[in-house]
Structure 1
Amino acid sequence: MKIEINKKRYRDFDSYMKEKFQKKIIKLPLDGGFTCPNRDGTLSKDGCIFCSETGSGEWTIGIKSIAEQISYQKARLSKEGRPEAYLGYFQNFTNTYANLSKLRELYYEALDDEEVIGLAIATRADCLSDDVLDLLEEINEKYFLIVELGMQSVKEKTLDLINRGYDQEIFDKGLRKLKARGIRVLVHMIVGLPFEDFEDYMKDVSYINEAYPWGIKIHNLYVEKNSRLEKFYKENRIHYGMDMENYVKIVVEILRNLRPELVINRLTGDGIGEKISFPLWSKNKAKILTSIDKMMKEKNFRQGDLWKEN
């Protein structure tokens, strides 16, 4: 069966993986039962201001064995007759924040499934001890590994506001430690954080181009009902002013200014619709992506067409 490759004007994850493995590679969201130093009192008990009660693991199914979760997610996400393989995606909370024996057990339980070709591990840049890095390097030598780091912004005022718990210098050190081990690093960037503007997003892009990770996820900020972030907006009487049209324009400019080699893993947030308080347009993920593709095509834009190496 021939694999359909997307004809995107940016280097999208789906196409990258199809070309590499000649299969559709599906991420299976997994809950490893982790917490976070920003939740357990080590740094804070509040977490990042935008993080949900599930630790940004909306599509995980709770604490079952890793094998059971893999079986469930395969049934939910697979399509009959399509050549497929899987990445075990340790998604919610901080997935390197545990003792080494637990990490090894969880990671290899996922990799024991013969259809799982590797892992995506979401974590914090301040939770990468040398022992953890050794384990990640070991896995990276045998499997396809992505380590996701929640950068969100490079602006220190924003980092304080969102309660990330560590500064940009620590983030940069974590990213570079992973790269020095030959590990693919994926950074998260949020568009629409309070008091940020286009100039701030371009500073994020400049840093990303200079640090040169393997890939990027771009999220629009969405605010969940009854969250600390919703409370912050209400108490400070802040208006969320970004509409979908503006978001699409910003994302297109970000893509045009990014290195063309970076793998684009996401261009929107992926919250659960009924939990989103605002903006309501963020619920329509398909429309956002279609609008980005349409603008790129109509104006003959491509990822990196404004990027220039210094």
Structure 2
Amino acid sequence: MDRQSRYKDFSAFLAAHFPFKVQKLSVNAGFTCPNRDGTKGYGGCTYCNNQTFNPEYCRTEKTIAVQLEEGKQFFSRKYPQMKYLAYFQAYTNTYAGLEQLVQMYEEALAVPDVVGLVIGTRPDCMPEELLDYLSELNERTFLLVEYGIESTNDVILQRINRGHTFACTQETVRRTAERGIRTGGHVIVGLPGEDGKQALLEQTKALSLLPLTTLKLHQLQLIKGTRMAYEYERNPSDFHLYSVDEYIDVVIDYVEHLRPDLVLERFISQSPKELLLAPDWGLKNHEFTARLQKRMCERDAWQGKYYI
């Protein structure tokens, strides 16, 4: 890691794999989740409104190929040489039969200039037969499987209606990485009951022990229409919503305790203004990153500084 960058950056990670610029294009393939359809529960995770994930071109009435072609048009005017990763993002993108999943993934890879896949899913939705296929797919294209971890604390996972334990996450991440597949994780910083410094540092220890390639963080956000928004309205004292400067220092503490070779893809999420209740920082991702890097320089901080 270059000390100037202060952390292992995702764009540098992609540059090491591709000799050209690469952009992720979101796909909404019409999946649901086991804790929405009654298999494990109803209502989904308490914080979740998947409208926050989907660009305008991601509509399930459009085929995967059409969604990707429309996404390409947005970027190709400015970057005609750009290549793309099809990002299966909304809901649980391994929650279907193997034949249907293979058809969807292969449809995406058949689109010109699509050079790989990123598949977002849950740790409890990765059967062995799908891992067999993904292992083969990994041999012929770029593949990153990204698991929603959200928390390493089972009490918190139960509170947010996640529907799986951290032990499930540990086992699935290991099974995936053992196949040689790049494996990513996603966590939410500041969930109710998990906003203290010590709790977050315990989380960094648990995550650093997993064979993850990449990690995404983002701040807790309250989104209209979610059960968590209702809980906040009834009991706001249960929640701590970070100011941007406070969150920057929390992220720095977090990153300083992470394994140094973990690739850090993202630190914040940007939800549509019409859906976001709080906190509304009014910052784009690149603006936040610039402020984070400036503060890391002021603190002489870098990823893994206190990793043991």
TM-score class, shorter: over 0.9
Letter matched to residue 35 of structure 1: T
Specify the alignment match of 1:216 in structure 2: 215
User: Are the counterparts in 2 of residues 296 and 302 from structure 1 also a CA contact under 8 Å?
Assistant: yes
Specify the alignment match of 1:44 in structure 2: 41
Specify the alignment match of 2:271 in structure 1: 271
In the alignment, the residues of structure 1 paired with residue 122 and residue 207 of structure 2 have an alpha-carbon distance, to the nearest angstrom, of 16
In the alignment, the residues of structure 1 paired with residue 50 and residue 246 of structure 2 have an alpha-carbon distance, to the nearest angstrom, of 29
User: Are the counterparts in 1 of residues 184 and 214 from structure 2 also a CA contact under 8 Å?
Assistant: yes
Structure 2 stretches lacking a partner, 5+ long = none
Aligned CA RMSD, in angstroms, stands at: 1.9
Letter matched to residue 184 of structure 1: R
In the alignment, the residues of structure 1 paired with residue 93 and residue 79 of structure 2 have an alpha-carbon distance, to the nearest angstrom, of 33
Taking the TM superposition and a 5 Å limit, the aligned residue runs for 1:74-89 are: 74-78=72-76, 80-81=78-79, 83-89=81-87
Letter matched to residue 254 of structure 1: Y
Specify the alignment match of 1:100 in structure 2: 98
Specify the alignment match of 1:25 in structure 2: 22
Which segment is superposed worse, 134-143 or 73-82?
A: 73-82
Taking the TM superposition and a 5 Å limit, the aligned residue runs for 1:58-69 are: 58-59=54-55, 61-63=58-60, 64-69=62-67
Specify the alignment match of 2:248 in structure 1: 248
**Aligned residues between the structures:** 303
SS at match of 2:236: coil
Taking the TM superposition and a 5 Å limit, the aligned residue runs for 1:141-290 are: 141-196=139-194, 197-238=196-237, 239-281=239-281, 284-290=284-290
Per-residue deviation, 1:202:
1.0
Letter matched to residue 58 of structure 1: N
Specify the alignment match of 1:293 in structure 2: 293
In the alignment, the residues of structure 2 paired with residue 117 and residue 298 of structure 1 have an alpha-carbon distance, to the nearest angstrom, of 39
Structure 1 residues 123-150: Cα deviation after superposition (integer angstroms, max 9, x where no partner): 0111111111111111111111001101
In the alignment, the residues of structure 2 paired with residue 57 and residue 150 of structure 1 have an alpha-carbon distance, to the nearest angstrom, of 14
Per-residue deviation, 1:282:
6.2
Specify the alignment match of 2:53 in structure 1: 57
Call closer, same or farther: CA 1:166–1:282 in 2, change over 3 Å: farther
Per-residue deviation, 1:111:
0.5
User: Are the counterparts in 1 of residues 174 and 211 from structure 2 also a CA contact under 8 Å?
Assistant: no
User: Are the counterparts in 2 of residues 9 and 293 from structure 1 also a CA contact under 8 Å?
Assistant: yes
Call closer, same or farther: CA 1:304–1:78 in 2, change over 3 Å: farther
Overall identity of the aligned pairs, in % = 34
Structure 1 stretches lacking a partner, 5+ long = none
Per-residue deviation, 1:53:
4.3
Letter matched to residue 192 of structure 1: G
SS at match of 1:120: strand
Per-residue deviation, 1:264:
0.8
Which segment is superposed worse, 203-212 or 94-103?
A: 203-212
User: Are the counterparts in 2 of residues 50 and 228 from structure 1 also a CA contact under 8 Å?
Assistant: yes
In the alignment, the residues of structure 2 paired with residue 267 and residue 287 of structure 1 have an alpha-carbon distance, to the nearest angstrom, of 11
Structure 1 residues 85-109: Cα deviation after superposition (integer angstroms, max 9, x where no partner): 1100000010000011110000000
User: Are the counterparts in 2 of residues 240 and 279 from structure 1 also a CA contact under 8 Å?
Assistant: no
User: Are the counterparts in 2 of residues 222 and 282 from structure 1 also a CA contact under 8 Å?
Assistant: no
In the alignment, the residues of structure 2 paired with residue 146 and residue 154 of structure 1 have an alpha-carbon distance, to the nearest angstrom, of 21
Call closer, same or farther: CA 1:283–1:44 in 2, change over 3 Å: farther
Per-residue deviation, 1:62:
1.3
SS at match of 1:274: coil
SS at match of 2:118: strand
Which segment is superposed worse, 113-122 or 96-105?
A: 113-122
Specify the alignment match of 1:119 in structure 2: 117
Per-residue deviation, 1:199:
1.3
Structure 1 residues 145-197: Cα deviation after superposition (integer angstroms, max 9, x where no partner): 00110111111110011000011111111111101111111111111111211
In the alignment, the residues of structure 1 paired with residue 150 and residue 198 of structure 2 have an alpha-carbon distance, to the nearest angstrom, of 15
Letter matched to residue 162 of structure 2: R
Structure 1 length as normaliser, TM-score?
Answer: 0.92
User: Are the counterparts in 2 of residues 58 and 272 from structure 1 also a CA contact under 8 Å?
Assistant: no
SS at match of 1:233: helix
